[in-house]
């Protein structure tokens, strides 16, 4: 019997934007199982991580109600923390492939697991960046066209938290 190939798309999604949406659409049909994993799941109301895990999950679910969406807490930095984080990621998701653009995540996945890191190009990174979008929201500049229409309402409702 052939093994089912499972892939995860790992990110903080602060907030979910058109670049993330593009990646999900590109990869979700390529694997027998596809899951979104929200990193830094216990961090919130901070400059870099303003939204709570459940808020991010509901934003993504608005666009992708058919996908499994889970969270993953951070660990302490350093080899032991990295090893534990990777072990928990693989144990909880049973994934074969990890889709990410984070250089540290790619490095520690390769070092501490058998999972394959799936390389992909960012979709218009000069435009679709969580840092850029959070800045625009905070400064009252136009940002709505940078997030998918399927979750725009949810992000508008949470914009005072960002």
Asked whether 38 and 11 are in contact (CB, 8 A), the reply is yes
Report the alpha-carbon distance of residue 132 to residue 162 in Å, rounded. Answer: 12
Residue 90: the pLDDT is 96
Q: How many angstroms separate the CA atoms of 147 and 15, rounded? A: 8
All domains of the chain in start order, with CATH:
6-161 (3.40.50.620)
Provide the whole-model pTM.
0.93
- Output helix, strand, coil percentages for the chain, rounded to the nearest 5: 45, 15, 40
Paired residues of 116 in beta bridges: 97
Average pLDDT over residues 12-39: 97
Per-residue pLDDT tens digits for 118-131 = 988 889 888 999 99
Residues 129-155 pLDDT 10s: 999 999 999 999 999 999 999 999 999
């Amino acid at each position: 019997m052939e093994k089912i190939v499972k892939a995860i798309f790992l990110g903080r999604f602060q907030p979910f934007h058109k670049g993330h949406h593009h990646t999900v659409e590109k990869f979700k049909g390529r694997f027998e199982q596809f899951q979104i994993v929200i990193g830094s799941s216990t961090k919130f109301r901070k400059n870099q991580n303003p939204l709570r895990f459940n808020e991010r999950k509901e934003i993504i679910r608005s666009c992708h109600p058919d996908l499994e969406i889970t969270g993953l807490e951070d660990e302490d930095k350093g080899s032991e923390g990295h090893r534990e984080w990777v072990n928990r990621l693989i144990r909880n998701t049973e994934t074969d492939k990890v889709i990410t653009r984070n250089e540290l995540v790619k490095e520690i996945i390769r070092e501490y697991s058998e999972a394959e890191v799936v390389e992909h190009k960012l979709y218009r990174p000069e435009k679709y960046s969580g840092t850029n979008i959070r800045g625009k929201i905070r400064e009252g500049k136009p940002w709505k066209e940078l997030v998918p229409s399927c979750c725009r309402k949810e992000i508008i409702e949470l914009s005072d938290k960002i």
